[in-house]
Amino acid sequence: MPNRTLLIAGNWKMNNDVAEAAKLADELAQALPEVPAGVEVLVCPPTIDITTVHDRIQAAPIALGAQNVYWEAKGAFTGESSCDMLKSAGCTYCIIGHSERRDYFHETDEDQNKKAKALVAAGLVPVFCCGESLEVREAGTYVEHVVNQVKAGLEGLEITCPKQVVVAYEPIWA
The answer to whether residue 106 is catalytic is no
Split into its structural domains, the chain has a count of 2
Helix axes 18-31, 50-57, angle to 10 degrees: 20
On whether the CB atoms of residues 15 and 44 are closer than 8 A, the answer is no
56 & 21 share domain: yes
Q: Read off the pLDDT of residues 64-111 as tens digits, 9 standing for 90 and up.
A: 999 999 999 999 999 999 999 999 999 999 999 999 999 999 999 999
Q: Are 62 and 32 found together in one domain?
A: yes
Q: Are residues 126 and 141 in the same domain?
A: yes
> What tens digit of pLDDT does each residue of 12-36 get?
999 999 999 999 999 999 999 999 9
Residue-wise pLDDT tens digits, 132-159: 999 999 999 999 999 999 999 999 998 8
Domain CATH code at residue 106: 3.20.20.70
Final residue belonging to a domain, choices 14, 41, 66? 66
**Residue of 135, 138, 144, 170 marked catalytic:** 170
pLDDT band at 1 (very low <50, low <70, confident <90, very high): very low
* Residue 159 pLDDT: 84
Task: Looking at the structure, tell me whether residues 36 and 92 fall in a common domain.
Answer: no
From residue 34, give the alpha-carbon distance in Å to each of 29, 44, 98, 172: 9, 19, 29, 32
Contact 21, 52 (CB under 8 A): yes
Q: Is 54 a catalytic residue?
A: no
Q: Return phi, psi of residue 13, to 5°.
A: 55, -145
- pLDDT, tens only, 106-125: 999 999 999 999 999 999 99
Domain boundary among 22, 47, 66: 66
Catalytic residue among 20, 98, 106, 144: 98
Domain limits at 50? 1-66
Nearest to 125 by CA among 153, 93, 86: 93
Q: For residues 56 and 110, state if they share a domain.
A: no
Is there a single domain that holds both residue 100 and residue 126? Answer: yes
* Pair 50, 76 in one domain: no
Model pLDDT, residue 2: 56
Both 13 and 82 in a single domain? no
Residue 174 lies in a domain: no
Residue 4 has pLDDT above 90, yes or no: no
pTM of this structure: 0.94
